[in-house]
Chains A and B, each alone.
Chain A
């Protein structure tokens, strides 16, 4: 199975870190980073080639300008089911606000939530979960 990543985070540093961790974990993993969730959404919409043997893990920040994590998930859920199936949305945030965390986990499209910073261990367990899906 082919595995790739989309990182959505308004912080340049956090995008960089996510990319480096992914690349250092496995050089064959493909990573795209977006500091603007709207752009990420457009990219996902445009890519309509359905490939049942590929999965993309979306690492999503919550508090972002223009389009925040909540708004992104709402739009994402409107995509056709065969497109949604190719993605696994994982929220990566620094918030300690339980209300926010609880709220984001109520969305069906959200697989799970990780606390920042992203580390190799957290990434490895994510990859294992994606592969077993």
Chain B
């Protein structure tokens, strides 16, 4: 069985506390308090208390008043009132003001308490699951909203461009002019295709199991290198790769490649065009089952105030180049899957360095 359910019992008569603890301590983790201040400090020290039993009749504050107070400050624990008095007035108060889960009559029997705890625990678990699901739903909903917003621009934009081009193609007789237009249409379609591929990456990262294999970083980067060498040549950006791997590294190749691809294409894309000596440096160092990857560029840099947001979906800190706003978000999701970390260091007009650490699985 997992950990014992943590229970707090408040009663101004120490004998009651002792009796309660004695009969239930084997099955539950029992905490007791003889007055309200003690109970409050106990709640502060144990945020994982799941059920609170409280006596109604106490000097100063009543059980109902206490529950009414903690409903706001400690909403999670399930509240159960213990009382010898069964007048309707106090029951109504307990329900309406204290918002209690159950009402146990004094003197209690062990069976009453055990069944109350069982039900309260189920209620507590259902509530916390609901809270987690709610958070997940809220997040998914926010992303869906962003999606809907981006769809009209990032998908409809290129499509309407191509539609417009087809419209005027009927009036173009000049072959050169036609070729120029076809070239631009191709560019638009490629942009759309990139968007859809990133969207697919985004989706498959949210689902799917990991496929763990042995990773040879030299081989992995050899596969990626040709994509960037073309760019490296045409834009005169030096591309250096340094790998130090003596040991076996196990991970999933697909998210790993996605991380490299996104960080590398950003490193090339956001180069400072005016600058000479442009470069992209990749170093991979595998030590003690941990891969440390640096991707360093001599690019335009990221403004300090934007750094906190660059990993957000559809966020774009700079607009020198066309971007979908998916890239770094996907990197972060991939790292989450691989249990990795990422750090950014950037100086405006000097360059950006991403440091990625991934444990072998």
Contacts and interface: CB of A to CB of B under 8 A. Distances in A.
Given A13-B187, A95-B153, A66 B160 contact: no
Interface in A18-51: 20-21, 24
Given A20-B172, A95-B152, A65 B320 contact: yes
Contact of A21 (B156, B168, B184, B187): B168
B156 A94 contact: yes
B152 A14 contact: no
A65 B168 CA distance: 27
B30 to A, nearest CB: 56
Given A65-B320, A94-B156, A97-B149, A14 B171 contact: no
Instruction: Say whether chain A's binding surface is mostly helix, strand, loop, or mixed.
Output: loop
Contact of A17 (B149, B157, B168, B319): B168
B188 interface: yes
A96 interface: yes
B107 interface: no
A94 B188 CA distance: 14
Counting chain B residues whose Cβ lies within 8 A of the other chain, the interface size class is: 20 to 34
B160 A116 contact: yes
Interface string A72-111: 0000000000000000000000111100000000000000
Nearest to A19: B168
A119 B188 contact: no
Nearest to A15: B184
Contacts of B168: 17, 20-21, 24
A94 B152 contact: yes
Nearest to B151: A96
A94 B157 CA distance: 6
B152 A16 contact: no
A96 B152 contact: yes
A99 to B, nearest CB: 9
A63 interface: yes
Interface string B138-169: 00000000000100110011101111110110
A62 B22 CA distance: 72
A48 to B, nearest CB: 29
B160 A94 contact: yes
A68 to B, nearest CB: 9
A13 B166 CA distance: 11
B256 interface: no
Given A20-B168, A24-B171, A13 B161 contact: yes
Given A16-B184, A21-B168, A117 B149 contact: no
A129 interface: no
B269 interface: no
A-B pairs with the 7 shortest C-beta distances? Answer: A65-B319, A117-B164, A116-B160, A13-B184, A17-B164, A13-B161, A94-B156
19 contacts: A10-B322, A11-B188, A12-B187, A13-B161, A13-B188, A14-B157, A14-B161, A16-B180, A21-B168, A24-B171, A65-B322, A94-B156, A94-B157, A95-B153, A95-B156, A96-B152, A97-B152, A116-B156, A119-B167
